[in-house]
Amino acid sequence: MSDTKQKSVSLHDVAEAAGVSVSTVSRALAFSDRINAKTRARILETVQELGYHPNIAARNLRLGQQKTILAVMPHHKGTQITTVANDAQLGIEQAVRELGYTLSVVNMRDSERVAGHVLDLVYGRQVSGTIILAENPMELNGRGLIDAGLPVVSLTEDLTHLGISSVVSSDRQSMMEAVEMLAGLGHERIFFISGPQGSYHSRQREAGVRSAMIRLFGSDENLVKYRADFDVESGCAAAREFLSLDHRPTAVISWADEVAMGFQSVVQEAGLKIPDDVSLVSFDGLCALRYTQPPITTFDQNVRELGAHAARLLVDLIDNGSPQEAQLIEYPAKMFAGRSVGAPAKRD
């Protein structure tokens, strides 16, 4: 069989031909004591037929000869993304160190070049496993992170549909709680500032707001939506849109804290009082919101703790092998009660 054909065969190809998952192929090749003999024999026969040659170094992971965790961090100019990434890295680093591993971190600043570097590390078995924060599993030049056969954990985004175990915060549930809190105070019309269309977190948080509105009021017709970005300036733009409305909602939910800060600044400058004229709730838990005037109520997802949980999960997958189905671990965000929420003002 030619070298070209050998290089083109991936773990995914073997898994598809053998009728099993990629993780099962990986265990069959590296962890023979964790799979029944009949399944392993079928996989090895498929490997031989396709000409796939696994990297023998993968077996060294079982023996503990490679103890490095790779963390892939997003790159964004916004302060919020930087803060989230830094907190996540601190949590990962602490847990990794406690578990006897070392941590290697890459930033997706130059995405294609970094993706190539990451895949070189993974396929070269220079790391034991990978944590990806707010990134899809990369593919480049016929190589994919999932196909490499090493454990992968997604942090903050649910990628279980791709077979990747994930550690996330309660985006949807928290936004449902925000609506319930506002409705309990008498608010019926809400202005929701969502994020970019492609954002997983924006979709989850909007789904929570809409679900609660429909459940509590029978429909979401009193939900006014505005699409923003990650930063303060987009929150300012949202505020200008809010101020232009003839019939303004009495409460605002922002999908992200930096956006909420921009919104607060503009509406207050326009003469509105928070929460007397409009209530404001946000999500993420940035420390800066404790020092706004008034402090903004927000749901703190505690990314540092999520990072630590992701690291522990990854090490467990490294030590014990990947389960048949990807795990989803969701941790509840905790509400920081600022002074930006109150009952709606009575209107004539």
Report the C-alpha gap between 156 and 170 in whole angstroms.
Answer: 10
Quick one: what percent of the chain has pLDDT higher than 70?
A: 86
- The enclosing H or E element of 283 equals strand 279-284
Q: Has residue 78 got a pLDDT over 70?
A: no
Direct distance between the N- and C-terminal alpha carbons of the chain, in angstroms, rounded to an integer: 83
Report the C-alpha gap between 66 and 320 in whole angstroms.
Answer: 15
Report the C-alpha gap between 322 and 42 in whole angstroms.
Answer: 19
Q: What are phi and psi of 262, to 5 degrees?
A: -65, -40
Q: Comparing C-alpha atoms, which of 260, 201, 192 is closest to residue 231?
A: 260
pLDDT band at 214 (very low <50, low <70, confident <90, very high): very high
Give the position of tokens 């220079």.
126
CB contact at 8 A, 127 and 70: yes
Angle at 276 between CA 273 and CA 280, to 5 degrees: 75
Q: Has residue 23 got a pLDDT over 90?
A: no
Structure tokens, 263: 């919104």
Most confident of 29-43, 51-65, 307-321: 307-321
* 177 CB neighbour count, 10 Å cutoff: 18
pLDDT band at 106 (very low <50, low <70, confident <90, very high): confident
pLDDT at 336: 94
pLDDT band at 34 (very low <50, low <70, confident <90, very high): low
Report the C-alpha gap between 33 and 31 in whole angstroms.
Answer: 6
Which bin fits 78, alpha (ψ -120 to 50), beta or left (φ > 0)?
beta
Mean pLDDT of 321-347: 88
pLDDT at 80: 61
Report the C-alpha gap between 261 and 240 in whole angstroms.
Answer: 13
What's the pLDDT tens digit per position in 162-191?
A: 999 999 999 999 999 999 999 999 999 999
15-29, 93-107, 225-239, 307-321, range with the lowest pLDDT: 15-29
Single pTM value for the model: 0.76
